[in-house]
Amino acid sequence: MKYRIVWILMVLSATTVTYAQTQEEIIQQQLQEREQAKKAETSQILDLGVDLMEDGEYEEANEKFKTVLKSSKVVPTNLTFYFGKNSFFLGKYKQSIDWLNKYLELKGTEGRYYQECIELLDMANKAFLALREDDRKNAQEVLSISYDIDCGPSGKVVCPVCAGNTVIIEQGPFGNSYRTCPYSDEHGQLSCEEYNLLLKGQLKPKL
C-alpha cells in the first residue's frame, strides 16, 4: 500500500511537471506569434510609407514612418534612409542629415541606397546652411539619438569615432598625433549595442 501511494505521487508529480512545461511552451509560442504578427504589421506600414513618399505624399509618409519608429523596439536599417529622404522633402534638413548619416554609418558604400543617400545628404547640408538661425531653432526635429538602430545581420558597425581605422588622428601645430580609439575593437568596429550607446553618449571608453 505504501509503495502504491508513493508510485501514485510520483506519477502525479511527473504529470504536473509535464503540464507546466506544456503550458510554458504554449505561452512562449503565443508570444512568438504575437511578435511575428507585430513585425509583419510594422513592415506593411513601412512599405505603405515608402509608397506614399514615392507618390509625393510626404506628410502622410511621415506619419507612417513615425508610427514605425514608435512601435519598433529596434529601428529597421532601411527606415534610416527612408525617414531621412522624406525629411528632406518636408524641409526638415537637420533631421534629414541625421538619419541619412545613420544609414551611411550602418551600410557604408555597400548600401543599396548609397549613391542616392550621398546626393540627398549634400543637398540637405546646403539647404540647412541656407536656413536662417531662427528657422533652425524653431524646427521640430525627430532625431535618431532617441532610438535603437538595427545594425543588420552582422551586428557590427564601423566605428564613427575613428572611421574604422582603430586610431584617432589629431592635427596639431607640429604635425599629426595618433592615439588608439577608446571605443572600437581591433578591427575598428563596434557591436550594435555599443553603437547605440555611443549615439546616446552612454558608451564608456575601453581605455
Indicate the domain borders of the chain. 156-199
Helical segments of 90-167, H only: 93-107, 114-130, 133-138
Q: Determine the average pLDDT of the residues in 69-87.
A: 91
| φ, ψ at 168 (rounded to 5°) | -105, 125
> pLDDT tier at 99 (50, 70, 90 boundaries)?
very high
Average pLDDT, the chain: 82
Give the N- to C-terminal CA distance of the chain in Å, as an integer. Answer: 70
Is 142 buried (19+), middle (13-18) or exposed (0-12) by CB count in 10 A? middle
Residue keyed to cell 534629414: 96
Confidence of residue 2 (pLDDT cuts 50, 70, 90): low
Percent of the chain scored above 90 by pLDDT? 33
User: At residue 11, does pLDDT exceed 60?
Assistant: no
Q: Is the confidence at residue 136, as pLDDT, over 60?
A: no
Contacts of 77 (CB under 8 A, 6+ apart): 103, 106, 107, 149, 150, 151, 152
Q: Is the pLDDT of residue 202 over 80?
A: yes
- Selected residue with higher pLDDT from 118 and 108: 118
According to the model, what pLDDT value does residue 125 have? 92
CA distance 126 to 189: 30
- The model carries a pTM of 0.68
Supply the DSSP symbol for 110: G
